[in-house]
Amino acid sequence: MRDRYSMRLGGQFAPPKRYDAQVVLDRIAEVATNLAAQAGVGAMETAGGLLGYLVENPRDLETFMVGGIWELPPGWFQRHNLTWHAQDGSIVHPADVRSLGEISQKKRGRR
């Protein structure tokens, strides 16, 4: 099966590259630190979002390792299953945020 994660080699497709765990963790920390500094948010929360996304979407690891977050799909930070604390202290689940967004779009007549 042909997909964007395979490279064509002599008529065959090579499996995605395997990464050492330390290399992946270092890359997550580096990207999270840089993004958080630019966005004025915490790097720990950003790293958690990246890790959560990559756990749910492991086929995007190669894309992330090579291109960083800018190569991930829009809304990647809500496409995982890790909870977080809201400003009011409540615990928020990304699925709840996605559901609220879908309801809001339907109310506005978008599908």
The full set of domain ranges for the chain reads 17-107
What is the rounded CA–CA span in Å between residue 76 and residue 68? 12
Mean pLDDT of all residues in 85-101: 84
Give per-residue pLDDT as tens, 16-74: 688 899 999 999 999 999 999 999 999 998 999 999 999 999 999 999 999 999 999 99
- Residue 22: the pLDDT is 95
pLDDT level of residue 13 (50, 70, 90 thresholds): low
Who wins on pLDDT, 42 or 80? 42
**Pairing relationship of beta strands 91-92 and 7-9 according to DSSP bridges:** unpaired
User: Contact, 36 vs 48, CB < 8 A?
Assistant: no
